[in-house]
Amino acid sequence: MTYSDDVIGRARVASDATLDEFYEVLKGVNAGALWTVANDIEPWFPQPKTVPALWKYRDLRPLVEQALGLVKADDAGRRVIMLVNPGKQDGSAVVGNVYTGLQIMGPGESMTAHRHMAAALRFVHEGKGAWTVVDGQKLTVGPGDFAITPSGAFHEHGNESDDTNVIWQDGLDIPLVNAMDAGFYQVHPKLYQDVDPVPNHSYLKYGVGQLRPYGFEDSWSKRYSPLFAYPWEQVYDALHNVAKASPGSECDGYILEYSNPLTGGSVMPTLSAHMQMLLPGQATKAHRHTGSVVYTVAQGSGYSVIAGKRYDWTKGDIFCVPSWAWHEHVNLDPNEEAFLFSFNDFPVMRSLDFWREEIMRDNDGHQEISE
Amino acid sequence: MTYSDDVIGRARVASDATLDEFYEVLKGVNAGALWTVANDIEPWFPQPKTVPALWKYRDLRPLVEQALGLVKADDAGRRVIMLVNPGKQDGSAVVGNVYTGLQIMGPGESMTAHRHMAAALRFVHEGKGAWTVVDGQKLTVGPGDFAITPSGAFHEHGNESDDTNVIWQDGLDIPLVNAMDAGFYQVHPKLYQDVDPVPNHSYLKYGVGQLRPYGFEDSWSKRYSPLFAYPWEQVYDALHNVAKASPGSECDGYILEYSNPLTGGSVMPTLSAHMQMLLPGQATKAHRHTGSVVYTVAQGSGYSVIAGKRYDWTKGDIFCVPSWAWHEHVNLDPNEEAFLFSFNDFPVMRSLDFWREEIMRDNDGHQEISE
Amino acid sequence: MTYSDDVIGRARVASDATLDEFYEVLKGVNAGALWTVANDIEPWFPQPKTVPALWKYRDLRPLVEQALGLVKADDAGRRVIMLVNPGKQDGSAVVGNVYTGLQIMGPGESMTAHRHMAAALRFVHEGKGAWTVVDGQKLTVGPGDFAITPSGAFHEHGNESDDTNVIWQDGLDIPLVNAMDAGFYQVHPKLYQDVDPVPNHSYLKYGVGQLRPYGFEDSWSKRYSPLFAYPWEQVYDALHNVAKASPGSECDGYILEYSNPLTGGSVMPTLSAHMQMLLPGQATKAHRHTGSVVYTVAQGSGYSVIAGKRYDWTKGDIFCVPSWAWHEHVNLDPNEEAFLFSFNDFPVMRSLDFWREEIMRDNDGHQEISE
Amino acid sequence: MTYSDDVIGRARVASDATLDEFYEVLKGVNAGALWTVANDIEPWFPQPKTVPALWKYRDLRPLVEQALGLVKADDAGRRVIMLVNPGKQDGSAVVGNVYTGLQIMGPGESMTAHRHMAAALRFVHEGKGAWTVVDGQKLTVGPGDFAITPSGAFHEHGNESDDTNVIWQDGLDIPLVNAMDAGFYQVHPKLYQDVDPVPNHSYLKYGVGQLRPYGFEDSWSKRYSPLFAYPWEQVYDALHNVAKASPGSECDGYILEYSNPLTGGSVMPTLSAHMQMLLPGQATKAHRHTGSVVYTVAQGSGYSVIAGKRYDWTKGDIFCVPSWAWHEHVNLDPNEEAFLFSFNDFPVMRSLDFWREEIMRDNDGHQEISE
């Protein structure tokens, strides 16, 4: 299919002196002629400014460690190296309307509490002793663990180990919040929250989603999950169980969505997250969809083909897939499984009825790789 | 508060010859005078026909075993001894609109498949080797396990052990289905279902409710849980976790509801089930609510006070609480926890907006025990 | 298709002395053998106790007027002649789990306020000056108007005309409430409600359902419609509009459901109501479904075929269709439309997932009429 | 309250040579230091780029008419003069993420059909004979009428009058669709749709929202309203009825939301619309909220105070209120009501849980007017 704009149904007005003059007049009254921009603002298919990209953890890690010596966490607010999409310098987006960065905390370090409209999630790369207090609940998290910091929830972080740094990845919807003109921010009035004596209590209550504390849900009216922490061991076992019972997804292998046990929906209204397992040597089929995705390699090594280009990855690497870009994944290890953690703005696509998906049927479902 | 019918706002028409004659005429045209029955059909509060009752497992067990020798399972349809509420002989209700019975299957026994509008659940009392095929999925269940057989799902049962009997408890909404004039029944056209090669596959897929197979839920449009089996070990651990994080419920101790992981709701639209744990020596406060409950003692011994009367129970015993009857529970063991499995028609009460609950505030929340 | 119980998959245990003795023992411990009742409590298809029936308004009207002289409204609670299904004398059901009756109020008469768990609806047969105060809102209603009195809402009635009686039809879910052991009743503590100065204010606010008072719905958490009155003129016009734009329903002609403008659902969680228009000479196709229906002829004359029997009707007549009974309608007037008001328990069938429907395809969709 | 960034909890890292060098290194690997932008991307409260503005119809009208002679509708795609917010030249937004423009069609003119992901709505300013075919349904619309063209619905427009131009206002979520990288566009394969013979049939079916064509809704799975047209007369009458029954809203006077009769929700998932009536001389209280609003004066004259500045308006004028800007309205006419049509992205704010609102309590609820 071709997408020529020189067809009836598209704007095809040739410019001339009279029109140019008219456009100037319009400009003078804060107006414009739709036909001069119509084809641009109503494209045939999505035209994201952000592009596919991959960041090697081995490049980022030393820089993150360097930051540890350069700034104090509380001076920085948070000591985070953010990933900036090569296609779009402004707005602090790694892709589409999502933000991600690597945060480092030294031994014994801790920070003050704040909250904001932006929703946040955490995925731990390395280090023992990481903790975060979210809405008064202390969560202790280790490598591979996933945790959320919902919109409007006060939160503060720290590292209670004696000798090891913690590096975790933050994922937020900051660009979305700003695109929607909805940003609010507040420092905790007492700088630190009162903390519930039982760490991870939401996991103790909701750690088996289909066994619900009776009556509790009645009092839960918030739009996000009452469960804040999802440990790696549980998702690892769950993926192996799913693999015994199901063929998985042709485009994603075995993939689980971290869900709100009270609704079965995404953990937060603007961000969702997945963990997927690729069997040794597995190569998935290509698909494309609206919505943007940030992938982090939790384990293993392989490559993904995004918009026709190959991106090789290994543990800790981060890569992104913009809206409507074809993508497929390959686990190059003949013996070990590969695990990809990812987060996305699919809940937004679904809420606004913008979700579209297409699975590649030609060429046995695989893209031609350019270069 | 007194409930006299001799007040304005209640029907207070004294009968006389003229009226009696009038009533006869009405009868002749299939009519009646509302005021002759108004106070009965619009009572001050619920007037269940079914009453509180307790069945000792030690009484029922030998009878159930006797049945094994008396009838063939396939001649009986199912070899079940049902519990009949002493207050209501007709309709096969153990309490309110719920049915329960004890089903026994000998070694190597199996039965043909059928389905019906009535929703069923199973709770295993004893024996190894029990299995049920529900909607083509083989479930293997042992003591303390909970499983569902939703409305309209074909099912067949068996016992694959060589030497031990299986006794499990059936819970169904048969009286509800009949009260609603909605009963349908079908024998499986081939007598036996085609069985999925992977046993318990729904547990493998949904065994951690907050980790959802991605995309699967999109294709699940049924009104009941896609997860059919809930093993005892998991609920046992979950209850101990909840106990670390929460004070539990003043009327129920630590209690979990078996839920549909895709909705957070009850496992089926007409029946829900709970497992609750009472700490050593724990005595709960009394409450009453609409909806009927059947309790089965999964472990431990103690007593419950229902409508002012004490009912002592130990493992395997079954007792019921009718709508709006005060009830409270006591674990008499000073060292061991007690576990009560229960199922109820609360989903119906909530769907129809009939749910009402009251917690006893007088007398420190405890009933006076009569006799 | 035949429905023999003498097949594998049904209970087929022949009785004998040993078994009879066993059954006696079971009875002694409040138990029974499922197989002795299984085929009855799990029927092949619904077996309602209530049967199709029709009541002629010309028979009922004089009796209702006679009641006016026989009892005082406040002595009777309400002066109502209820319709009793010929197939089931107890329980005050006209069909299935619904109740209906004709209530008469003389000029200037008024009654005290009460409320109950049962949900009520009104359809006015004749008379000017009828009013009801529901939850503090005064509704003035005339012939053909439909109004609701939701569960738990205080209500009182009256007739403010000088010279004419009012006869309206009550529809309630009393048998359902009692079958669910959920009945509560309360006389208004002050006997009369405080009344909002603006009559029919819910109609003024919500009289055009798709134009919603902004912000109001946020504060409306009740399970029933905020709109209490649905005037005849509006439904009459709406039906004629639908007839211009749609072929209507092959089984119901042109039919509208009175809906909750805030949810699009039924007006109350247990009862819904419809008004349908049959074109001159129109004959609908037969269908059957779970759920029970009470029909009232709002206008015109014709007949309905229910379970193979013809029931002729004219204005004011009331007839009922039990669950799963085939039914079809014919407007005998060659020039005038016929209008059937009806109410039902479909919301219950849908909430409990008991809804089933079948359209007759044989014999061009029409039943054979017996006798 | 002050909003200084020089406090603990905000980023307060002073730059120096070492850091600048570090930032350069980060830039080289498509990364950045969060603390260099943190205060900007997580503002204390929303910082919209778009600003309050007002467009006089008397200025725009002649330009729109001029366009009629300058370009052919089908060359332009649509002959529309769009409003461009003075604070943001790119992206074609009138405010926030919404677009609006004035479209003119000459007598007898008509255009080809297309569809796009963007959702559209129409509000007619002047002219008889306007029509639009949406998803095969012909809608005829006149001054004051509101109509929708949902996302993905094919649509084509025309003016069937002999002698008068039509000018209507388009409202779309184009900037939102592009911000979400979700834009798709398609020209109708046959250039023109097959048209249903009954114009406005959705209004004939759903013109009284609380009277629903029975069974129809079951087959309606779309996320937008099945009712496409909302005539002025109906909303005019409804507003007068509401005024009799309710005090209205302290910030909006009497205001109705055009709703989906099947859900009670907004007409489309991304855009909602209101019509509000201000009584003669009425002055509303100020409030602010997230979400952007475009107002069009349907009738009357007065002014609004937005972010402390007064904007005088009369019939046809268009003005906008960005997210979180205080605003209040005044009807200057002592005898006539004023009517403001408005549309907004509130559904997006609610879906994403970004909705926040504050009512001004100081100064009797009114802003100080600068200049």
Q: Could you read off the pLDDT of A303-362 as tens digits, one per residue? A: 999 999 999 999 999 999 999 999 999 999 999 999 999 999 999 999 999 999 999 999
Please, which residues bridge with residue B272 across strands? B344
Q: pLDDT above 90 covers what percent of chain A? A: 96
- Which of B8, B12, B60 faces C112 most closely, judged by CB atoms? B8
Lookup result for tokens 């309206």? C168
What is the pLDDT at residue A217?
46
DSSP C47: -
pLDDT above 50: residue D217? no
DSSP D244: H
What is the pLDDT at residue C322?
98
CB pair distance less than 8 Å for D205 and C241: yes
Instruction: Convert the pLDDT of each residue in A47-73 to its tens digit.
Output: 999 999 999 999 999 999 999 999 999
pLDDT band at residue A219 under the 50/70/90 scheme: confident
Integer Cα distance of B123 and B232 in angstroms: 10
Q: pLDDT above 70 covers what percent of chain C? A: 98
- Which of C8, C47, C348 faces B74 most closely, judged by CB atoms? C8
Nearest Cα residue to B96 out of B269, B320, B339: B320
Please, which residues bridge with residue D101 across strands? D82, D170
Which string of DSSP letters, residue by residue, matches C51-81?
--EEE-HHHHHHHHHHHHHHS-HHHHSS-EE
Instruction: Convert the pLDDT of each residue in C1-37 to its tens digit.
Output: 568 999 999 999 999 999 999 999 999 999 999 999 9
Task: Give D-chain residues touching A18 at CB under 8 angstroms.
Answer: 70
Q: How far is CA B364 from CA A166, B13, B367, D223, D362, in A?
A: 51, 42, 9, 52, 48
Instruction: Convert the pLDDT of each residue in A180-197 to its tens digit.
Output: 999 999 999 999 999 999
pLDDT above 90: residue A218? no
- Which of D213, D245, D249 faces C246 most closely, judged by CB atoms? D213
Sheet of B130-134: strand order equals B137-141, B130-134, B155-159, B114-116, B185-187
pLDDT band at residue C358 under the 50/70/90 scheme: very high
Element (H, E) at D295: strand D293-299
Task: Give B-chain residues touching A273 at CB under 8 angstroms.
Answer: none
Token code pair at residue A327: 């993508």
Arithmetic mean of pLDDT over chain B:
96
Q: How many CB pairs under 8 A join A and B?
A: 143
Integer Cα distance of A278 and A337 in angstroms: 6
Element (H, E) at A67: helix A57-70
Instruction: Convert the pLDDT of each residue in D269-298 to its tens digit.
Output: 999 999 999 999 999 999 999 999 999 999
Beta-carbon contacts of C205 under 8 Å, excluding residues fewer than 6 positions away, are C213, C216, C226, C227, D241, D242, D245, D246
Chains adjacent to A (≥3 CB pairs closer than 8 angstroms): B, D
Mean pLDDT computed over B236-253? 95
Arithmetic mean of pLDDT over chain C:
96
pLDDT band at residue C217 under the 50/70/90 scheme: very low
pLDDT above 60: residue C222? yes
- Which of A216, A245, A257 faces B214 most closely, judged by CB atoms? A257
What is the pLDDT at residue D220?
87
Do D and B have ≥3 inter-chain CB pairs under 8 A? no
The interaxial angle of helices B17-28 and C57-70, nearest 10 deg, is 170
pLDDT above 80: residue C371? no
pLDDT above 80: residue C365? yes
Q: What is the pTM of this model?
A: 0.96
Torsion of CA A149, A155, A161, A163, to 10 degrees: 90
CB pair distance less than 8 Å for A22 and D269: no
What is the pLDDT at residue D341?
98
ipTM of model: 0.97
Sheet of C146-149: strand order equals B31-33, C80-83, C99-105, C166-172, C120-126, C146-149, C229-230
Instruction: Convert the pLDDT of each residue in D193-214 to its tens digit.
Output: 999 999 999 999 999 999 999 8
Q: How far is CA A82 from CA A91, A317, B74, B342, D28, in A?
A: 11, 14, 68, 52, 13
- Nearest-by-CA chain A residue for B235: A211
Chains adjacent to D (≥3 CB pairs closer than 8 angstroms): A, C
pLDDT above 90: residue D83? yes
Class of residue A6 by CB neighbours under 10 A (exposed 0-12, middle 13-18, buried 19+)? exposed
A51: left (phi over 0), alpha (psi -120 to 50) or beta: beta
pLDDT band at residue A119 under the 50/70/90 scheme: very high
What is the pLDDT at residue B1?
58
The answer to whether C278 touches C337, Cβ cutoff 8 Å, is: yes
Arithmetic mean of pLDDT over chain D:
96
Q: How far is CA A22 from the centre of its chain?
A: 45
Arithmetic mean of pLDDT over chain A:
96
Interface test with B, best of C13, C34, C51 (most B CBs within 10 A): C34
pLDDT above 80: residue C135? yes
How many Cα neighbours within 13 Å face the side chain of B246? 25
Integer Cα distance of A156 and A273 in angstroms: 22
The answer to whether B256 touches B238, Cβ cutoff 8 Å, is: yes
Integer Cα distance of B71 and C12 in angstroms: 10
Q: List domains and CATH numbers for chain C.
A: 53-365 (2.60.120.10)
- How close does chain D come to C175, measured CA to CA in Å? 26
- Nearest-by-CA chain C residue for D254: C213
CB pair distance less than 8 Å for D181 and A12: no
pLDDT above 70: residue C200? yes
pLDDT band at residue B370 under the 50/70/90 scheme: confident
Integer Cα distance of C296 and D336 in angstroms: 46
- How close does chain C come to B235, measured CA to CA in Å? 27
What is the pLDDT at residue D132?
98
CB pair distance less than 8 Å for D230 and C213: no
Any idea what the Cα angle at residue C58 is, between residues C54 and C63, rounded to 5°? 100
pLDDT above 90: residue D176? yes
What is the pLDDT at residue B217?
46
pLDDT band at residue D3 under the 50/70/90 scheme: confident
What is the pLDDT at residue C218?
55
Instruction: Convert the pLDDT of each residue in B161-211 to its tens digit.
Output: 999 999 999 999 999 999 999 999 999 999 999 999 999 999 999 999 999
- Nearest-by-CA chain D residue for C196: D245
Beta-carbon contacts of C116 under 8 Å, excluding residues fewer than 6 positions away, are B42, C151, C152, C177, C183, C184, C185, C186
pLDDT above 50: residue C304? yes
CB pair distance less than 8 Å for B67 and C116: no
Residue D302 has φ and ψ, to the nearest 5°, of 180, -150
Instruction: Convert the pLDDT of each residue in A161-177 to its tens digit.
Output: 999 999 999 999 999 99
Q: pLDDT above 90 covers what percent of chain B? A: 96
The answer to whether D313 touches D330, Cβ cutoff 8 Å, is: no
Residue B17 has φ and ψ, to the nearest 5°, of -55, -45
What is the pLDDT at residue B20?
97
Residue A170 has φ and ψ, to the nearest 5°, of -95, 140
pLDDT above 50: residue B331? yes
- Which of B11, B55, B63 faces C76 most closely, judged by CB atoms? B11
Mean pLDDT computed over C298-321? 98
Q: pLDDT above 70 covers what percent of chain D? A: 98
pLDDT above 90: residue B62? yes
Integer Cα distance of C300 and C144 in angstroms: 13
The answer to whether D344 touches D294, Cβ cutoff 8 Å, is: yes
CB pair distance less than 8 Å for D214 and C255: yes
pLDDT above 60: residue B216? no
Task: Give B-chain residues touching C186 at CB under 8 angstroms.
Answer: 44
Instruction: Convert the pLDDT of each residue in D239-255 to its tens digit.
Output: 999 999 999 999 999 99
What is the pLDDT at residue C216?
55
**Identity at D175, one-letter amino acid code:** P
